[in-house]
Amino acid sequence: MSGYSVFIPVFNEAEIMEANLLRLLAHLETLGRPFEVLVGSNGSTDATTAIGRRLAQSLEPVRFFHLHRRAPGWAFREGVRRAEYETIITQDMDLSVDLGFIAAALELMSRADLVIGSKKMGRQHRSPVRVAGSGAFILLARLLLKLGYQDYSLAAKAFRRSLVRRFEAWIGPGTSYVLNLICLAQRQGFRIKEVPVFCRDERESRFNLAREGLHRFAGLGQLWLRVRLGRGGPWPEGLDLGEEGGLQ
């Protein structure tokens, strides 16, 4: 039975990191497949790095790395480069998305190249601001890029490693890489599945939602322009500035 990698980007998650990693590992052990958990700190300034390195030494399935810059997209890119397995599943450290997505994604990846966990298709307990911002973003993605999917957040996605490597040049430092990968995969005929997920995210946001929303919508416009102009080169560093987390 094929194995899989779980990738989690983290920024200053010292308070919840150990307990949630142990909870995640306990769940993954029940699925009966080989696995690893890759944790990528990007710009953390609290004890996240020290805790991550300690856990990687004491917990065999856990691997940890730290990037000095706050750049979740580049953390994802580095995680893919380090991944042992072809199937890569993304999660958030707060485990706000139901862990049942992992088993569903593994089953679907036998006949898909990318699996999207959709909060809108399922159930979500999030702030009205985030839900409204997500809805507007999804609608605009449908209108501009002809995308029929309903979630472009970082967590609850499953990718084939070969797909990500094919489009690696489109992964910038911010959070827009998920939208980029979904758009390119659709345009080039990769198999995409979408499933409902349950999300409970009641933590107070540590990020400026207005600023993050601005960057996410700007990233959508930049992708639309690049697609229209047929530009497939490396993603310019200054274009993708979204913070980790945010409206989606």
Strand, helix or coil for residue 119: strand
Residue 45: burial class (beta carbons within 10 Å; 0-12, 13-18, 19+): exposed
Please determine, for residue 205, whether its predicted confidence score (pLDDT) is greater than 80.
Answer: no
pTM, whole model, 2 decimals? 0.88
Alpha carbons 196 and 174: distance in angstroms, whole number: 25
Residue pair 7/42 in contact (Cβ under 8 Å)? The answer is no
With bands split at pLDDT 50, 70 and 90, how would you rate the model's confidence at 38?
Answer: very high
Position with higher pLDDT, 141 vs 194: 194
- Joined together, the tokens standing for residue 170 give 């489109």
Residue pair 87/106 in contact (Cβ under 8 Å)? The answer is yes
Alpha carbons 44 and 18: distance in angstroms, whole number: 15
Write the CATH number of the domain with boundaries 4-239. 3.90.550.10
Please determine, for residue 235, whether its predicted confidence score (pLDDT) is greater than 60.
Answer: no
Please determine, for residue 101, whether its predicted confidence score (pLDDT) is greater than 90.
Answer: yes
pLDDT, residue 238, reads: 42
Work out the percent of the chain whose per-residue pLDDT is above 70: 88
Instruction: Tell me the average pLDDT of the chain.
Output: 89
- Joined together, the tokens standing for residue 60 give 């065999």
Position with higher pLDDT, 90 vs 143: 90
pLDDT, residue 212, reads: 67
160-166 contacts: CB < 8 A, separation 24 or more? 160/86, 160/87, 160/88, 160/109, 160/113, 160/114, 161/80, 161/83, 161/85, 161/86, 161/87, 161/88, 162/86, 163/113, 163/114, 163/190, 164/77, 164/80, 164/88, 165/80
Alpha carbons 235 and 169: distance in angstroms, whole number: 6
